[in-house]
Amino acid sequence: MSAKMVTAGVLLIGDELLSGRTRDINLSYLAKFLGEMGIQVREARVIPDVDETIVATLNEMRARFDYVFTTGGIGPTHDDITADAVAHAFGVGIDHHPEAMALLTAHYARTGAEFNDSRRRMARIPHGASLIPNAVSVAPGFQIGNVFVMAGVPMVMQSMMDAVAARLEGGARMLSRTVGAAMGEGQIAEKLGALQARYPDISIGSYPYYRGTVFGTNLVLRGTDSDLLDAAEAELMTLIRTFGVEPVRVSPE
Amino acid sequence: MSAKMVTAGVLLIGDELLSGRTRDINLSYLAKFLGEMGIQVREARVIPDVDETIVATLNEMRARFDYVFTTGGIGPTHDDITADAVAHAFGVGIDHHPEAMALLTAHYARTGAEFNDSRRRMARIPHGASLIPNAVSVAPGFQIGNVFVMAGVPMVMQSMMDAVAARLEGGARMLSRTVGAAMGEGQIAEKLGALQARYPDISIGSYPYYRGTVFGTNLVLRGTDSDLLDAAEAELMTLIRTFGVEPVRVSPE
């Protein structure tokens, strides 16, 4: 594998994720989106809207990964403290950004809603950051260093990622093959371990499923070399057939 | 608030969560389940099936929180390394546990499936741990110190939590009130911040929503004192009405 590995950390910010009120759907979206660009998410963290927690976690993650993507906490209310915390983490000031102010002024003029102090908070951007456009609700995210700060509302976050994509440098693209087998994973586990040992450059995952009274196993092969994946997939299908089970290629996954 | 705060960390283990293949639903379940017992989830982490990562993360979290709950990686296949990693984290040995072996022997005798070496792996339990029963698929989880190690399959994890509940000591139970308002959060943000300042023992969250072309804001009050919550909720509803909007009590949330 000659192409380099590019890594990312995801930081999901918001009390509502830790109370169970909101179930996150941003991590899986980001993981897939980035994976298709050859950027591997290596860790995600879910933390509350607490300044010192955001600062410490962000500083640790931005040192460890090529990119960090945050979601949540950039709206107009008192609990939206992410922009200030990111400024603290980078040790820079924060102020109303002229371009963000212009965007929001035009937006509120169009809608007729008042552009009040709270809404002006959404134009507060750390010094040195560049804006990330938001095609859904206008208030921008921002990039500072290797950190991309985005909204928590999935539709808005997804619109921001469309704008962010052009700024990212991808690496070796991770490819995958999924094969389903109507058998318990415990039945195939030993031979699967042997297959994994023969293909150290491929990661083989085994995921049992239960659908009512039916159970089975999805086997996922992941790697960056498509020829190697084809060879491992062919061996895996032969292996499943030795148990008298017909493998099912699950695609796309 | 006289009752003590009891804290928890959640550790979600599995490559499939970081590739986007699987969308986690265990965190929100655990957060609600524990919240109802007065145990506050303070942080969650999603990490890959890598021994040194599991060891380092678990050791950090079990020192910081009263309880740690892990999901994933305790099945029969080569990528199920959580039990071994937990043993490493605690610096203890790991072996086939007699009680777990008895449970699984009886299970496979009933089902007629072979109790092979791979399936025996599911009886490997760190020394000093106690078993967590599994009413769904029999293979147990385990508790060691303040750490509860459970399956990743939601149905199985939920069955394990039913057994774990009796071992947990809860604290002050977090209560919540949710009020919906058909208005932008930017419109109410300033007065909401003032309300928050008057109620420092209550946490007020503001969550915008978009439903097609309709948008609005859910305001969530959280705290342990129900009288205080009632007072804050009444003020909040009065506040919303000053904007000519009729608040909607969203319940249960």
For residue A17, list chain B residues with Cβ-Cβ distance below 8 A: 27-28, 31, 44
pLDDT per position as a tens digit, A100-137? 999 999 999 998 989 999 999 999 999 999 999 999 88
Pick the residue from chain B with its C-alpha nearest to A217: B77
Answer whether B46 sits within 8 Å of A43, measured CB to CB.
yes
Per residue in A76-110, pLDDT (tens digit) is: 999 999 999 999 999 999 999 999 999 999 999 99
Using only C-alpha atoms, chain A has a radius of gyration, in whole angstroms, of: 22
- Looking up tokens 């309300």 gives B195
Asked if B121's CB is within 8 angstroms of A189's CB, the reply is yes
Q: Looking at the domain that runs over B175-250, which CATH code has it been given?
A: 3.30.70.260
What per-residue confidence (pLDDT) applies to A214? 77
User: From the CA of B73, how many Å to the nearest CA of chain A?
Assistant: 10
Dihedral angle, C-alpha A149, A152, A156, A157, nearest 10 °: 50
With an 8 Å Cβ cutoff, is B213 touching chain A? no
> B250 in contact with A at a CB cutoff of 8 Å?
no
Residue that has been written with the tokens 């791979």 in this structure: B118
Beta strands per DSSP E along B90-236: 94-96, 124-126, 130-132, 141-144, 147-150, 175-181, 203-211, 214-223
Q: Which amino acid is it at A80? A: D
Q: What is the CA radius of gyration of chain B?
A: 22
What number of CA atoms fall less than 13 Å from residue A252's CA on the CB side? 3
Smallest Cβ–Cβ distance between A253 and the set B17, B21, B122 belongs to B21
Closest CA to B21 of A145, A41, A6: A41
Residue-wise pLDDT tens digits, B151-199: 999 999 999 999 999 999 998 888 999 999 999 899 999 999 999 999 9
* B67 contacts B104 by C-beta, under 8 angstroms: no
* Minimal CA separation from A194 to chain B, in Å: 9
Strands (DSSP E) found in A61-158: 67-71, 94-96, 124-126, 130-132, 141-144, 147-150
Of A24, A78, A137, the CB nearest to B196: A78
Quick: pLDDT tens for B118-132: 999 999 999 999 999
Whole-model pTM: value is 0.91
Q: List pLDDT tens digits, range A225-239.
A: 999 999 999 999 999
How far is CA A243 from each of CA A181, A238, A247, B111, rounded to the nearest angstrom? 10, 9, 10, 17
A185 contacts chain B (CB < 8 A): yes
Q: Could you tell me which chain B residue has the CA closest to the CA of A219? A: B77
A157: helix, coil or strand? helix
pLDDT of residue B213: 72
Averaged pLDDT, B14-26: 95
Q: State mean pLDDT over A200-210.
A: 90
When mean pLDDT is compared across A204-218, B48-62, B93-107, the lowest value belongs to A204-218
pLDDT in tens, A23-82: 999 999 999 999 999 999 999 999 999 999 999 999 999 999 999 999 999 999 999 999
Say what percent of chain B tops pLDDT 90. Answer: 87
Q: Residue A100 and residue B94: Cα distance in Å, rounded?
A: 57
Exposed/middle/buried for residue A53 (C-beta within 10 Å: 0-12, 13-18, 19+): middle
3-state helix vs strand vs coil in chain A, percent to 5? 40, 25, 30
Give Cβ neighbours of residue B111 (< 8 Å, ≥ 6 apart).
Answer: none
pLDDT value of position A1:
42
What is the C-alpha separation between A227 and A201, in angstroms, rounded?
12
Mean pLDDT of A192-215: 89
Neighbours of A231 (CB within 10 A): 15
pLDDT in tens, B196-222: 999 999 999 998 887 777 789 999 999
ipTM of this predicted structure = 0.91
Write the pLDDT tens digit of every residue in B40-56.
999 999 999 999 999 99
- A210 CA: distance to closest CA in chain B (Å): 9
Range of lowest pLDDT (A8-17, A211-220, B43-52, B90-99):
A211-220
How many residues make up chain A in this entry?
A: 253
Interface of A with B in 91-120 (CB under 8 A): 113-114, 116-119
Work out the widest C-alpha separation in chain A, in whole angstroms: 70
User: Which residues of chain A lie closer than 8 angstroms to B155, CB-CB?
Assistant: 210
Q: Is B230 on the interface with A (CB under 8 A)?
A: no
- Find the mean pLDDT for residues A181-193: 93
Cis bond upstream, residue A252 (ω within 30): yes
Rounded CA gap, A126 and B179, in Å?
32
CA distance B213 to chain A (A): 11
CA A203 – CA B81 distance, rounded (Å): 14
Give the SS3 label for residue A246: coil
In chain B, CATH 3.40.980.10 covers 6-167
Q: Is the pLDDT of residue A177 over 90?
A: yes
Please report the pLDDT score of residue A128 as a whole number: 97
Where residue B200 falls (left for φ over 0; alpha for ψ -120 to 50; beta otherwise) is alpha
What is the biggest distance separating any 2 CA atoms in chain B, rounded to whole angstroms? 70
Which part of chain B is CATH 3.30.70.260?
175-250
Q: Chain A partners of B204 at a C-beta cutoff of 8 Å?
A: 78-79
Q: Does A227 touch chain B if contact means CB atoms closer than 8 Å? A: no
Q: What is the pLDDT of residue B3?
A: 63
Between chains, do A47 and B43 touch, taking CB under 8 Å as contact? yes
SS (H, E, C) chain A: CCCCCEEEEEEEECHHHHCCCCCCCHHHHHHHHHHHCCEEEEEEEEECCCHHHHHHHHHHHHHHCCEEEEECCCCCCCCCCHHHHHHHHHCCCEEECHHHHHHHHHHHHHHCCCCCHHHHHHHEEECCCEEECCCCCCCCEEEECCEEEECCCHHHHHHHHHHHHHHCCCCCCCEEEEEEECCCHHHHHHHHHHHHHHCCCCEEEEEEEEECCEEEEEEEEEECCHHHHHHHHHHHHHHHHCCCCCCEEECCC
Comparing alpha-carbon positions, the chain B residue that sits nearest to A155 is B210
Number of CB atoms found within 10 A of residue B182's CB: 14
* CATH T-level assignment (fold) for domain B6-167: Molybdenum Cofactor Biosythetic Enzyme; Chain A (3.40.980)
